[in-house]
Amino acid sequence: MTGPYLTTQHPLSGASRDDSMEPIRCEAIILKATDYRENDRLVTCYSLEHGLLRGIARGAKRSVRRFGGALELFARLSMHVRLRQGLVDILDADIVTIHAGLRADLPRIALAGYACELLTLLAPEGVANPRLYRLATSYLAYLESASPSGSDRRFFELNLLNILGYRPSLEQCSSCGAGLGGEAGAAGFSASGELYCRLCHPGGSPVSGATLALLAACLSTGRFGGVQFPDSLLAEAGMLLDAAIAGHVSAPLRSLAFLREMDAP
């Protein structure tokens, strides 16, 4: 993989996720939080140290001292957790940032919710990936202050797929290996988001060389807002990335349906 995010993986083996382990401190983004029983909360988060974690915060709804309303969607927290088989124990949490500005605007909420759902569905559980964590935290921080943008959404999606190893090749035909881009290497993509030259897959949805160049630019810069797609090219890039993502999720994304409702005239 290329780009500004270095991948490091540390699987949590059964031996390391033992009930007798001492609590550890980790930093995490809350991707999903729901009430459970009378006083507990079930939490899905993406942590810097251990990747995707699913856990239970016992007494979270009544313990101001230990949680203080920290377990909210999109919040970036410093948490004490006990790693174990199944649900981890979330013992307490302190707020690093709550992203208050993000929560004040419906389009920002929709895009942030979509990013969190993608992480929940695509990231491997219990596998640290600092590069992916930095991508997610950068996007949430950017959404808090910047105007919601389709270009930045596609930037996030492409880099997410790239980090996870799911990105379709933008440079070569997936069948014959011919170069893509320009008139000689005109590209089309399949229903699964794989790119082909027009000779190998003449019936595929077309993608212009200009769109491929902008997608490549998304991989060569480490900041949101640095690549802007004209509307026609944004539509091409969107169809390609939607297909590539759909090929790796087992069910329709609820947040995507909401985004499409907001985009509808």
Helix (H, G, I), strand (E, B) or coil at 77: strand
Q: What residue numbers bound the domain in which 179 lies?
A: 165-246
Q: Is residue 233 part of a domain?
A: yes
Q: Which residues lie closer than 8 Å to 129 by C-beta, 6 or more apart?
A: 7, 8, 9, 51, 123, 163
End-to-end CA distance of the chain: 38
Domain boundary among 59, 76, 97: 97
- Looking at residue 16, its pLDDT comes to 43
Stretch 201-219: mean pLDDT: 90
Domain boundary among 65, 97, 129: 97
CA pair distance 53, 118, nearest whole angstrom = 14
151-183 tens-digit pLDDT = 999 999 999 999 999 999 999 999 999 888 765
Q: Is residue 103 part of a domain?
A: no
Q: Is residue 45 part of a domain?
A: yes
Question: What pTM was computed for the model?
Answer: 0.88
CA pair distance 197, 106, nearest whole angstrom = 40
Q: Which residues lie closer than 8 Å to 167 by C-beta, 6 or more apart?
A: 158, 161, 244
90-130 tens-digit pLDDT = 999 999 999 988 888 899 999 999 999 999 999 999 999 99
Q: Is residue 177 part of a domain?
A: yes
Q: Is residue 3 part of a domain?
A: no
- The rounded mean pLDDT for the chain is 87
- Looking at residue 198, its pLDDT comes to 83
Q: Is residue 126 part of a domain?
A: no
| Structure-block tokens of residue 180 | 């893509």
10-37 tens-digit pLDDT = 444 333 445 557 899 999 999 999 999 8
For 5, 80, 163, 245, the CA distances from 213, given in Å and listed in that order, are 20, 44, 19, 20
- Here the CATH number for the domain that contains residue 55 is 2.40.50.140
Stretch 135-148: mean pLDDT: 94
Q: Is residue 261 part of a domain?
A: no
Domain count, the chain: 2
